[in-house]
Amino acid sequence: MKGFLCLLLLCLSVSSLELTGPSTNAARLGSDTWVPCLFTVDNPPVDLNHLTIFWYFLDKEILSYNKTVRTNSSRYSLSTEELVTGAANLTISNIRISDGGRYKCSVIYNSERREKRLWLDVGVPPQVTITDKTVVVNEESVLRCSATGFFPIDIEVKWFKGSERLSDVIVDQPQKNPDRTYSVNSTVTITPTEEDREQNFSCRVRHFHLTDPRQVHFQLIYEDRNSAGIITACSVPVVILVIIITGVLWWKLKPRRKAIGPFIVRDIVGPPKLIDGEEAVLCCTVDDAPEDLCVTWLIRRAGQEQEIQMSHRREHSEEEESLLDTSYVIKSKVVGRQYSSSLSFIPHMERHKDVTFICRAVSGHHNDEKAFHCRMIYVKPKLSRSLTRRRVRPGEIKYLLNLEKFYPQNIKIVWMCGVETTGGVVSSTESKSENPDRTYNVSSEIVIPEDQHEDPGFRVRVTWEHESMEEPESRELNIRDSGKPQMSAPIEITMAGSSNVRFSLNLQKFYPKDIKISWCREDKSDKHVISAVESIRARDEDLTYEVTSVVWIAKYLFRDPEMKIIVEWKHERTETSETRSLSVRDFPWRPHVGSISVPELEDGKSAALTCAISGYFPDLLSVNWFTKKDGNVTALPRTSANSDVNYKFSNKEMIQADNTYSCEASVTFTPIISSHQGSEIICRVEHPSTESPIERSTAPLHIGERIYG
609-620 tens-digit pLDDT: 999 999 999 988
State the DSSP string of 586-606.
G-S-PPEEEEEE---EETT--
| Full strand arrangement of the beta sheet holding 164-165 | 164-165, 156-161, 201-206, 214-218
Report d(CA 659, CA 651) in Å as an integer: 18
- CB-based contact 274:352 (threshold 8 Å): yes
Report d(CA 298, CA 371) in Å as an integer: 9
Report d(CA 200, CA 163) in Å as an integer: 9
Q: Is the peptide bond before 512 cis (omega within 30 degrees of 0)?
A: yes
Task: Give tens-digit pLDDT for 374-403.
Answer: 989 999 999 877 677 777 777 788 889 999
User: Which of 253-257, 360-364, 517-521 has the weakest average pLDDT?
Assistant: 253-257
563-570: average pLDDT: 94
Q: Is the peptide bond before 408 cis (omega within 30 degrees of 0)?
A: yes
Q: Cβ of 319: how many Cβ atoms within 10 Å? A: 9
Q: What is the pLDDT of residue 240?
A: 60
Strands 440-449 and 492-496: unpaired
Query: Which residues, at least 6 apart from 184, have a Cβ–Cβ distance to it below 8 Å?
Result: 146, 147, 155, 157, 171, 172, 173, 174, 175
Residue 138 burial class via C-beta count within 10 angstroms: exposed 0-12, middle 13-18, buried 19 and up: exposed
Report d(CA 675, CA 370) in Å as an integer: 100
21-31: average pLDDT: 82
Q: Is 241 left (phi over 0), alpha (psi -120 to 50) or beta?
A: alpha
Q: Residue type for 273, please? A: K
Report d(CA 362, CA 183) in Å as an integer: 31
Q: What is the pLDDT of residue 231?
A: 45
Query: Which residues, at least 6 apart from 168, have a Cβ–Cβ distance to it below 8 Å?
Result: 188, 189, 190
- CB-based contact 303:287 (threshold 8 Å): no
- CB-based contact 449:396 (threshold 8 Å): yes
Alpha-carbon separation of residue 655 from 135, 397, 662 (angstroms):
88, 54, 6
Query: Which residues, at least 6 apart from 526, have a Cβ–Cβ distance to it below 8 Å?
Result: none
Res. 242: pLDDT tops 70: no
Res. 441: pLDDT tops 90: yes
Q: What is the pLDDT of residue 453?
A: 72
Q: What is the pLDDT of residue 559?
A: 82
pLDDT band of 28, cuts 50, 70, 90: confident
- CB-based contact 338:289 (threshold 8 Å): yes
Most confident of 172-186, 311-325, 378-392, 591-605: 591-605
User: Which of 85-89, 499-503, 571-575 has the weakest average pLDDT?
Assistant: 571-575
Residue 208 burial class via C-beta count within 10 angstroms: exposed 0-12, middle 13-18, buried 19 and up: middle
- Mean residue pLDDT across the chain: 84
Report d(CA 148, CA 204) in Å as an integer: 13
Percent of the chain at pLDDT > 70 equals 86
> CA angle 47-71-416, nearest 5°?
55
Q: What is the 3-state secondary structure (H, E, C) of 301-355?
A: ECCEEEECCCCCCCCCCCCHHHHHHHCEEEEEEEECCEEEEEEEECCCHHHHCCC
Report d(CA 549, CA 554) in Å as an integer: 17
Res. 94: pLDDT tops 60: yes
Q: Cβ of 463: how many Cβ atoms within 10 Å? A: 15
322-327: average pLDDT: 45
Res. 237: pLDDT tops 60: no
Torsion angle in degrees (nearest 10) through CA of 628, 632, 634, 640: -90
Helix (H) or strand (E) holding 119: strand 112-123
Query: Which residues, at least 6 apart from 15, have a Cβ–Cβ distance to it below 8 Å?
Result: 40, 42
Query: Which residues, at least 6 apart from 542, have a Cβ–Cβ distance to it below 8 Å?
Result: 111, 388, 389, 390, 482, 509
Q: Cβ of 154: how many Cβ atoms within 10 Å? A: 11
Q: What is the pLDDT of residue 31?
A: 85
* The model's pTM: 0.42
State the DSSP string of 166-179.
P-SEEEPPPEE-TT
Q: Across the strands, what pairs with 25?
A: 120
Alpha-carbon separation of residue 488 from 509, 546, 548, 668 (angstroms):
9, 10, 10, 51
Compute the residue count for the chain. Answer: 709
Q: What is the pLDDT of residue 101?
A: 86
Q: What is the pLDDT of residue 610?
A: 96
Report d(CA 516, CA 532) in Å as an integer: 11
Of residues 454, 468, 97, the one with CA closest to residue 271? 468
Q: Cβ of 486: how many Cβ atoms within 10 Å? A: 19
Alpha-carbon separation of residue 490 from 20, 83, 493, 580 (angstroms):
21, 29, 9, 10
Res. 135: pLDDT tops 50: yes
Q: Residue type for 256, please? A: R
Strands 134-135 and 221-222: parallel
Q: Cβ of 462: how many Cβ atoms within 10 Å? A: 23
Q: What is the pLDDT of residue 255?
A: 43
Task: Give tens-digit pLDDT for 186-215.
Answer: 999 999 998 998 899 999 999 888 878 899
- CB-based contact 385:404 (threshold 8 Å): no
More confident of the two residues 657 and 423: 657
Contacts of 415-420 with C-beta under 8 Å, sequence gap 24+, read 415/444, 415/446, 415/460, 415/461, 415/462, 416/460, 416/461, 416/462, 416/463, 417/446, 417/448, 417/452, 417/458, 417/459, 417/460, 417/461, 418/458, 418/459, 419/455, 419/457, 419/458, 419/459, 420/457, 420/459
Res. 7: pLDDT tops 50: no
Q: What is the pLDDT of residue 708?
A: 64
Q: What is the pLDDT of residue 481?
A: 54
More confident of the two residues 431 and 20: 431
685-692: average pLDDT: 91
Q: What is the pLDDT of residue 687?
A: 93
Most confident of 329-338, 498-507, 553-562: 498-507
Q: What is the pLDDT of residue 701?
A: 93
Per-residue burial over 280-316, b if 16 or more Cβ lie within 10 Å, else e, is bebbbbbeebbeebebebebeeeeeeeeeeeeebebe
Report d(CA 544, CA 669) in Å as an integer: 67
Task: Give tens-digit pLDDT for 459-477.
Answer: 888 999 999 998 888 887 7
Phi and psi of 258, rounded to 5°? -65, -35
